[in-house]
Amino acid sequence: MIAEIGVFFLILTLIGSSFGFICPVLKFHENSEITQIKISKLTFFCTTTSFVILTYCFIISDFSLTVIEKNSNSQLPIIYKITGVWGNHEGSILLWLLVMTFFGFLFACQSKIDSKLKEKTLNVQNTLIFLISLFILLTSNPFERTFPPAIDGADLNPLLQDPGLIIHPPFLYLGYVGSSIVFSISIAILILNNNSKEYFTILKPWIFLSWTFLSCGIGLGSWWAYYELGWGGFWFWDPVENASLLPWLTSSALLHTIIISTKKKSLQNWTLFLSIVTFLLSLLGTFLVRSGVLVSVHAFANDPTRGVFILLLLLAISAMSFFLFLKRSKKFSSKLQINLVSREGAISLNNIFMFTLSFTILLGTIYPLFSNVIFNNKISVGAPFFNSILSPLMIPITLGMMFGPFLKWEKDDIGNLLSRIKILLLILFIVSLTVWYLNFKGPILSVIFFAFSAWIITSSIFELLKFLSFKPKLILRKIPLKTFSQVSAHIGIALIILGATGTSILRIEQIQFQEVNEVITAKNFKVKFLGIKLVEKENYKSQMGFFEIYKNNKYIKTLTPEKRMYNSNKQVTTEAAIHSTIFGDLYIAIGDGNALKKNSWTTRIWYNSFTIWIWIGVLFLVLGGMLSIFRFIKVNK
Amino acid sequence: MKYFFLFIFMSSIGFLFYKGLKIDPSVVPSNLIDEQTPSFQLKKVGKYPLFDSIDLKKQEIKIVNFFATWCGPCKVEHPQLMKLSSSYKIYGIAKKDNPKDIIKWLKNYGNPFDKIGLDNDGISSIEWGVYGLPETFIINKDNKIVYKHIGPIMKNDLEKINAILK
């Protein structure tokens, strides 16, 4: 019965949100801003209720619901019963809807927004909510019953039974779907045909909000893949990973252009275009994942009708928004010339490179599909392609991050700039030599990328030093929050470059049959294999390997990688064991026993340099985003 | 004009994605399908008759199975091979294996193979495009490969295999 109430609330969301676009068309209500606000609050309430009901059904293991029967199990620990709600297609699309209504609700609650813009934005947002709830009710109803009810469920995919997966999808969705409100505001601005700076200022915090969530979501996903998949890497250029990276790249570009749009009234059309594209890329990502058109590690149960529906949705929304954009963009194009040697110039150049990067990654991601359809030729595009386009594009992006913040707005002079930062240039030279000295024997690419990372960090810190004045005595002037947030985000990127370079270029990998008591050396660690022990847990059995780690002949700790076999569906997962230090991770995963020799096992031992800095970098990025949001809240008070 | 381009762009993207929906991206067809079997040279295993290229030129339908005694899934597949061997000729190629282990394996689990050979260096397996074990090929009367099965033949695969063999 309770599940039917869940469906009822979903239907209420559908009907409620339909008023979102019916009202303005039929001119039902005089004060339509208030109507839209009410609709937003209603749809948020209904979707939340529906989501809570589904969660409740998961907790009580109501196996009469198809989705619970397929994705949960009575033996599952309670926390994974709850996260199982979004560990499947139906539940995760409901989470999509919940986040979408949440952003509508949040926007509706803002008091300092121009009423016309607010009405139109909620109009668009409610229309999107209508389309998604229609999609759920027609093709992906999480409350569908199965008959006769199953005695027990098939279990949640063991890979998803992991702490990282508890928060990765919600954060990713907050970022992904958060871009819907940015899209809605941009479409509203286009509909109102008003290029006032005030409108663009309203757009700004929402971009930062969704970007921060997206950074956090991608970071968590990458962290999960690193320790759960047992492949020793953190990024695999899988189509689904790319699908999340694309909106992140365009929204990073957007973060920069919006500054110009609010300050100078120029690049407004580009800002609107990026806002639209960011949301469309999120939708495209969803289409690629849920329709099964590409091979990916993120396998969801695929259903062609769903694929067709999302495709229609994607096409309709893209066609309408691009049509509107083409029709109105003239009003938002500025006649102001942008000087190449200026802050605007640096941001514009950076935008061109970021957009090129996202477009090329997009092309690489969907090319296998096109090649299959057009040439009937099966190909796969993998890491070598993506790495080869990423590396050269990192050069201008790095230079932009280093020197951009030192350029003056409107017009600057290279000679002037150089004299202003001559001390920095000297420091950068010393830093480069130090990096080269420290990594003298390393591959040339690692020297280059480590130098990039060090350059960005140095120039970012140098930027903060501007606020120190030495005369007449040493005083630290108050550093504006926006400088702090920018410096933090740039240092974040630098640390990610450091970690990614270390992990991919300097990796040491050893795969072997390791006998009990045999010692393998990886970098300056010695790894002694003690043996395998069988461990039984609530819902799985595990073969746990014991490895003693020594550094300079001193015992450090015992690592216990596992191979788990889950009771309900006999699926096997690898749990890597990692010893993290600031210089690198010792990463151990175990495989099968050697059939020909007793007491000998396949062991995979990696030494990944500087991996931990990737996650610290993500923290800096998120901190940067949070500081910006905090600033907007403070300004708006 | 710009609207026209938008229309063309959107419809071609839509068309491509729609077509893409109907293709299963995880299916990778073998390049050898409908081709003549590649040549190969194997080593003899104990007293068992040696499998040779000439055997595939016979005017009959035959099955070629790549396996190894160190491969777990091959063990799972074995009973199904035994069943198939009652109606068809199966030739076995043991990849990177030890002749003693093969003899023990065939004695323990039964011998489904008409003839057998050892691919010690793995070169024949490369010729046949074998990248995992077990893999099974069905070859028609004209010595052309008509089907390739990757992974163990399970009980529920037998129906499909039998249909192809007929």
pLDDT in tens, B60-85: 889 999 998 887 778 888 988 999 99
Judge whether A113 lies within some domain: yes
CA dihedral A628, A212, A100, A242 (to 10 degrees): 150
Q: Give contacts of B14 with chain A, Cβ < 8 Å.
A: 311, 315
Cβ(A83)–Cβ(A165) below 8 Å: yes
From A127, A144, A160, the end of a domain falls on: A160
Nearest CA in chain B to A594: B70
Judge whether A626 lies within some domain: no
From A376, A400, A421, the end of a domain falls on: A376
B28 contact A CB<8A: yes
A372/B17 Cβ within 8 A: no
Q: Give contacts of B6 with chain A, Cβ < 8 Å.
A: 319, 322-323, 326
Nearest CB to B17; choose among A311, A378, A595: A311
B1 contact A CB<8A: no
Judge whether A599 lies within some domain: yes
Q: Give contacts of A295 with chain B, Cβ < 8 Å.
A: 25-26
Between CA A245 and CA A362 the distance in angstroms is 10
User: How many structural domains is chain A composed of?
Assistant: 4
φ, ψ for residue B154, nearest 5 deg: -90, 175
Are A495 and A514 members of one domain? Answer: no
Instruction: Please give the interface size between A and B, counted as residue pairs whose CB atoms are below 8 Å apart.
Output: 53
**pLDDT tens figures, A89-145:** 899 999 999 999 999 999 999 988 899 999 999 999 999 999 999 999 999 999 999
Between CA A406 and CA A502 the distance in angstroms is 29
**pLDDT tens figures, A356-407:** 999 999 999 988 888 888 887 777 788 888 988 998 999 999 999 999 999 9
Are A495 and A521 members of one domain? Answer: no
Are A59 and A128 members of one domain? Answer: yes
Question: What per-residue confidence (pLDDT) applies to B158?
Answer: 84
A364 contact B CB<8A: no
Are A397 and A319 members of one domain? Answer: no
Distance of CA A248 to the CA centre of its chain: 6
Distances (CA, A) of A426 to A193, A232, B155: 49, 38, 72
Nearest CB to A369; choose among B10, B20, B70: B20
Are A67 and A187 members of one domain? Answer: no
pLDDT band at A302 (very low <50, low <70, confident <90, very high): low
Instruction: Evaluate if residue A50 carries a pLDDT over 90.
Output: yes
A369/B3 Cβ within 8 A: no
Are A329 and A423 members of one domain? Answer: no
- Closest among B100, B40, B24, B34 to B69, alpha carbons compared: B100
Judge whether A68 lies within some domain: yes
B29/A315 Cβ within 8 A: no
Between CA A146 and CA A63 the distance in angstroms is 8
The fraction of chain A above a pLDDT of 70, given in percent, is 97
Q: Give contacts of B28 with chain A, Cβ < 8 Å.
A: 378
Domain enclosing residue A198, as ranges: 162-376
Question: What per-residue confidence (pLDDT) applies to A7?
Answer: 96
**Residue of A315, A363, A377, A565 to mutate, interface with B, max B Cβ within 10 Å:** A315
Q: Give contacts of A328 with chain B, Cβ < 8 Å.
A: none
Question: What per-residue confidence (pLDDT) applies to A636?
Answer: 78
Q: Give contacts of B133 with chain A, Cβ < 8 Å.
A: none
Q: Give contacts of A370 with chain B, Cβ < 8 Å.
A: 16, 20
- Mean pLDDT of chain A, nearest integer: 89
Are A242 and A170 members of one domain? Answer: yes
Nearest CB to B6; choose among A292, A322, A369: A322
Nearest CB to B25; choose among A293, A319, A595: A293
Instruction: Evaluate if residue A309 carries a pLDDT over 70.
Output: yes
**Residue of A240, A288, A311 to mutate, interface with B, max B Cβ within 10 Å:** A311
Are A168 and A124 members of one domain? Answer: no
B26 contact A CB<8A: yes
Collect contacts of B98-107 with beta carbons under 8 A, ≥24 apart.
Answer: B98/B69, B99/B43, B99/B45, B99/B46, B101/B69, B101/B70, B102/B45, B102/B46, B102/B69, B103/B45, B103/B46, B103/B48, B104/B69, B105/B69, B106/B48
From A376, A411, A441, the end of a domain falls on: A376
Judge whether A12 lies within some domain: yes
B25/A295 Cβ within 8 A: yes
φ, ψ for residue A596, nearest 5 deg: -90, -15
Model-level pTM greater than 0.90? no
Judge whether A457 lies within some domain: yes
Alpha-carbon radius of gyration of chain B: 21
CATH number, residue A39? 1.20.120
Question: What per-residue confidence (pLDDT) applies to A295?
Answer: 67
Nearest CB to B3; choose among A293, A307, A323: A323
B26/A307 Cβ within 8 A: no
Q: Which of A262-266, A273-277, A351-355, A531-535 has the lowest mean pLDDT?
A: A262-266
Instruction: Evaluate if residue A12 carries a pLDDT over 90.
Output: yes
pLDDT band at A611 (very low <50, low <70, confident <90, very high): very high
pLDDT band at A461 (very low <50, low <70, confident <90, very high): very high
Judge whether A385 lies within some domain: no
A319/B21 Cβ within 8 A: no
For residue A559, list its beta bridge partners. A547
B22 contact A CB<8A: yes
Residue A247: is the preceding peptide bond cis (ω within 30°)? no
**pLDDT tens figures, B36-63:** 888 888 999 988 999 988 888 888 889 9
- The pair of structure tokens assigned to A290 is 């849920």
Nearest CB to A596; choose among B2, B17, B70: B70
Are A403 and A363 members of one domain? Answer: no
Are A319 and A463 members of one domain? Answer: no
Instruction: Evaluate if residue A290 carries a pLDDT over 80.
Output: no
B23/A304 Cβ within 8 A: no
- Closest among A205, A133, A152, A282 to A482, alpha carbons compared: A205
A48 contact B CB<8A: no
**pLDDT mean over A208-234:** 89
pLDDT band at B156 (very low <50, low <70, confident <90, very high): confident
Instruction: Evaluate if residue B125 carries a pLDDT over 60.
Output: yes
Residues in contact with B126: Cβ distance below 8 Å, sequence separation at least 6, in sequence order: none
Are A368 and A395 members of one domain? Answer: no
To the nearest whole angstrom, how far is the Cα of B36 from the nearest Cα of chain A?
21
Nearest CA in chain A to B98: A596
Domains and CATH numbers, chain B: 32-165 (3.40.30.10)
Are A449 and A349 members of one domain? Answer: no
Judge whether A625 lies within some domain: no
**pLDDT mean over A29-47:** 87
